[in-house]
Structure 1
Amino acid sequence: MATPKLRFKEFEGSWLTSKIGEVFEVTSGATPLRSNKEFFKNANIPWVKTTDLNNAVITHTEEQISKIALESTSVKMLPKDTVFVAMYGGFNQIGRTGLLLNEAACNQALSAIYPNENISSFFLLSYLNHNVKEWKTFAASSRKDPNITKKDVLSFPFNYPTLKEQTKIATFLSTVDTKIDELTQKHELLTDYKKGMMQQIFSQKLRFKADDGSDFEDWDDITLGEISSKSLAKNKDESISEVLTNSATQGVIKQSDYFERDIVTTSNLKGYYVVEIGDFVYNPRISSQAPVGPIKRNKQCLGVMSPLYTVFTTNKGDINYLEYFFESSIWHDYVKSVSNSGARHDRMNIKNQDFFDMPILYPCLAEQTKIANFLTVIDQKIDNVTEQIDHAKTWKKGLLQQMFV
């Protein structure tokens, strides 16, 4: 028996302390044989996998199965308001949840917790999300990719109040989630708008005017080597110990902030390049976010980077414009055309000369500045919404710590 720190004033008394298996019926799904095409032909039955879970209501699934699969295999339909828990995938995946909006089936990597008329499914979902870290204590620590079992799910602790209080809590949290979803959608719309504007700008479908209303002159085609030089200074005396990395999503950041542990030590930094504030860094490692590797500007601090990176300093032009140019994809085709086809599959292999022969779209300085200022305003709006989302999530997390037992 226990009570939460924060509670709606009309409720009192202790919450019940139980286990999932004492309150709910729990089952798991199955995967139809993929070799049987009939199981996935004319498929219209939602089939939930761990990749469909986002700790919220499930609105769609990546895959569907056919009625034949449902009738011929151990896959079973699950009712609306079923709550899923991911059992496989390592510490980053186990315990992820999802709530069924409509009937669906699921695969064997999920535990399906059937709805109970005395328990709000959204309350259960919120409770499990709040306690997601607890699944680690149930994971098989001897395995490389820890997982949980149905037995673990059945024995997972579950504390709950009356249905009326559950519903009040669930309704309140649903309102908070709606606000976060609205902000997230606004963030996505602004991000898409920025991408669209960058496409128009760098294709020159959108041109800016001079302050007197006149047209700017045509853009020049120059090479990267004409406006920059490679930074060759190395950390020979090991006077700099801050190691930087270039992330496709986060830009140039401290390695200690990016990785869970330092992957280099201060004893092997002599051959690392010195990176000044304002320098650009090319990371040849490719990813879905950076198909030819990212070029980002160092705004962090003086640091050093692995020789695997290309560090360069610009000596001409508006540095903010150039940062947006490299954020675009306009230069990707060139890099693909000069990269070594025999390179590692996850890394571009480009000679220095070819890299610095990269063509740069180069308007006059005044238009560069107008472009940079325009895109900066959009970025500021995106950052503002990001801050609102972070604040809302932090506020919700604080509420959950006090509203649940």
Structure 2
Amino acid sequence: MLTDLSLPMVKEEDVKVKGNGNENGGIIQIITTSTRKPVLTASLKLEGESDGQDYAAPNILQRVLSLLSNVRPGTDLTRFQLPPHFNIPKTMLQCYGEPVYCVSKDMLSQCANGKTPIERFMAVVAWNISTLRPLMFGVAPYNPILGETHHVSRGTLNVLLEQVSHHPPVSALHATDEKDGIDMIWCHHLHPKFNGTSVETAINGKRQLKLLNKGENYESGHPNLVIRFLPVPSVNWSGNIRIHCQETDLEAELCFGDNSFLSRKANHRSVRGKIFIMSSRETIYAINGHWDRVVTVKDVSNGELTVIYDAWEALSALKTPILKDPEGVWASESSVVWAEVSQNILSKCWDKAREAKTAVEEKERELLRDRKTKGETWVPKHFTVSHSKETGWSCFPNQKLVPPAPIVVPY
């Protein structure tokens, strides 16, 4: 995915720097609440469902091609800067968090409360598919700044994200629900590359979903995001992932179909795969469907079909988060950090949006230079992070439970 380098405007009295951190150099640890009002936006919706909001600037395809005209194929785009014409008014942290807390149907509870191991496993597969949302061509979220956070609650589910590295971009998520015994940890490392007529973003890292009351731990990967410019502009999830649970000896392999020029229409946003017993490799269910429509499983022993996921049922009429506790919002909150830029994008005041981003960048570069001069480094506030060439990035939450958030999603 195209990303941009923009850093937040934060008052000096709102921050302090911690030492002995990671090698990326630091940004901030927030110690006071923010005085800026958050700008909260609707969740990304299914195609065919509209809230009347179109974030893209006019002639977006021509603008994208012009922007990339001097970029060589194979270029890593993690440091590529985007003007606000190409941004939606939300950060990548919000785009990671929304699939967890913005749903019409409580699919996580189904995972936790399934009566049998296979019932819970199929619910986890369906929930993983539900985290894929259609994205708009030509626009991208802001690239989160180091130390940025996003904290939202929905009912008893509390979700907290933090940007734990800026170069390379790495985001951590921790979500807990004491009532249903759910503990979720994600660590995402983006790696976007320009391939001439497309941008393919590998979303590396591990997702863990623990069902504490069942003693089960589910691990999964994430498909790649492919943005094609020619011959027809499109955005799609593509690639293979595995979902497995050692405790139940169950595993699923899923293949997400691309919509390249040579692929068949049936592959457009398709998902196919199987559920099998890990120890014997015996396939027990076949998976087939489309992640933006309906997905079924077929019992290979008797041919019986069951719908495990209906995108319209799960993702239509999504609720926009609301601010419940203004005094509890951190200055590092995504919707605060990007408030001025987002408001101008929503108003289509592109010059003002550009000015706001420029002011943010210059202020934060000044703070970064100051920290380097003082020899100060930064460590994440909410996660402990490790990295190696063999295992990649790992993020571990510093607290057992995520506290209730000042931003909530109504039922």
Q: TM (normalized to structure 1)?
A: 0.24
Compare CA radii of gyration and give the structure with the larger one.
1
Task: Specify which structure has the higher proportion of strand.
Answer: 2
Q: TM (normalized to structure 2)?
A: 0.24
Task: Specify which structure has the higher proportion of helix.
Answer: 1
| Structure possessing the higher relative contact order (Cα contacts under 8 Å, 6 or more residues apart) | 2
